[in-house]
Amino acid sequence: MLCRSFYAVFLLSSGAAPISAANQNYIGNAEVAFKVLQNWYNPNTGIWNTTGWWNSANCLTVIGDLAAVDPSIKTEVSAVYANSIVAAPNLNLGVTKIVTSDFNIESFYTKSPPGVVKRQVNPKGFLNAFYDDEGWWALGWIQAYDITGTAEYLNTAIDIFTDMKNGSSTPCKGGIWWDKTETYVNAIANELYLSVAAHLANRVVQNKQFYLSIAQDQWTWFQQSGMINSKSLINDGLTGACKNNNGTVWSYNQGVVLGGLVELNKASPNASYISSAKSIATAAIKALSDSNGVLHDPCEPNCGADGSQFKGIFMRNLQILQAASPDNSYLSFIATNAASIWAKDRNTQNQLSVGWAGPFVSPANASTQSSALGALVAAVAFQGQLGNGIASRHRRWQL
């Protein structure tokens, strides 16, 4: 069972020379962080120890993100894919979730049985009672397909999306439910639905129009749903009356939509998609950054097992937006966060924790590690530009 913990604080000792974003070896840092993350990977279960089911989908995605910009790890990542597609479904034994008073999520998992269980036939192995969990796995397997070209991974994502579509029975004139018991219409499930549909439109050529129409309709509905507030920030979801619930502005709710809109623009170019994405990204950076430009979620440092994943999701999707529509302010933000993580949020074992501005909060786990790795990967993607000193001329961190 995973639940919130109160962590003891461990502060890295100081005294080394100051470090700036300009002289970071981002690819080296990311490879070290990747190796630490893989210490938690369990080949028997196909998921990562110390974290949960949907978090493991994000672990799967972030190692693929790194492989996309660092081919030296592609063989190792491909082996993880080949193992997890077989082993992970056997650990999908059920999850209960609650929405806390601050609109964070707490997930509770059943224990796995001893021994090795026979492989389940996909897609049922990646389906559960929550459409957002399914969306994370769909995006993870789409990334796996992009890295390897293995059709099974894309087909798994297609099958997952087919199940997600069954959630489109809300009373809010569109969108999908968060859960199959139909208790909540929230932002994250609907952003994932948009993103998966748009990704599939660009990869399933024979059914492009089917997925494109869903993605376009979903974005039109999302814009009109009221979840995007007057500050261009996305609140957590809708009330039972289908009104903005003024729920917490979480980083991941500002992130997934960015990647979805970039993919939608690839499928059907429309300048408004990128414009909307940039409005949300810019507003999020302003609202969720401290005075040094480091990203935070309101739950820190006690974000629990779910909230600790959020920030890396924002960084992954900001990377996607930056690649599609370069902006020096986004590049600066990526560099700032990657450098701060390495200087202030790392222990002597190169584990990365929840507070990217420091100090290190113990214990780290696969969720905090993979989330922080998302920021490091974003910096790797633009290492050449960052090496020229962009974003780092005015900020320095003390080790």
Helix orientation angle between 271-288 and 328-344, rounded to the nearest 10 degrees: 40
Residue with more model confidence, 20 or 253: 253
| Preceding omega of 298 cis (within 30 degrees of 0) | no
pLDDT of residue 22: 55
- H helix or E strand, kind and range, residue 95: strand 95-99
Q: Is the pLDDT of residue 8 over 60?
A: no
Instruction: Please give the pLDDT value at position 36.
Output: 98
- Work out the widest C-alpha separation in the chain, in whole angstroms: 59
Q: Which residue has the higher pLDDT, 374 or 123?
A: 374
**pLDDT tens digit sequence for 205-232:** 999 999 999 999 999 999 999 999 999 9
* Average pLDDT taken over every residue of the chain: 88
Which phi and psi angles does 228 have, rounded to 5°? Answer: -85, 115
The dihedral built from the CA positions of residue 371, 374, 375 and 380, taken in this order, carries a sign that is: positive
Q: What is the pLDDT of residue 234?
A: 98
- Packed helices 187-201 and 151-165: angle between N→C axes, nearest 10 degrees: 140
Please indicate whether residue 95 or residue 43 has the higher confidence score (pLDDT): 43
Q: Side-chain half-sphere of 170: how many Cα atoms within 13 Å?
A: 30
Per-residue pLDDT at 82: 98
- Tell me if the bond preceding 301 is cis, omega within 30° of 0: yes
pLDDT at 20: 58
Task: Label residue 110 by pLDDT band (50, 70, 90).
Answer: low
Quote the pLDDT of residue 303: 96
Backbone dihedral region for residue 173 (phi beyond 0: left; psi -120 to 50: alpha; all else: beta): left
Rounded to 10 deg, the angle between the 366-381 and 26-38 helix axes is 150
Q: CA geometry: angle at 259 spanning 257 and 263, to 5°? A: 115
Alpha-carbon distance 125 to 274, whole Å? 35
59-71 pLDDT, tens digit each: 999 999 999 999 9
Residue 21's contacts (CB-CB under 8 Å, 6 or more residues apart) are 335, 336, 338, 339, 386, 391, 392, 395
H or E element at residue 10? strand 8-10
Interval 16-21 mean pLDDT: 44
Tell me the whole-structure pTM to 2 decimals. Answer: 0.88
Contact 13, 363 (CB under 8 A): no
**In this structure, are residues 336 and 318 in contact, taking their beta carbons and an 8 Å threshold?**
no
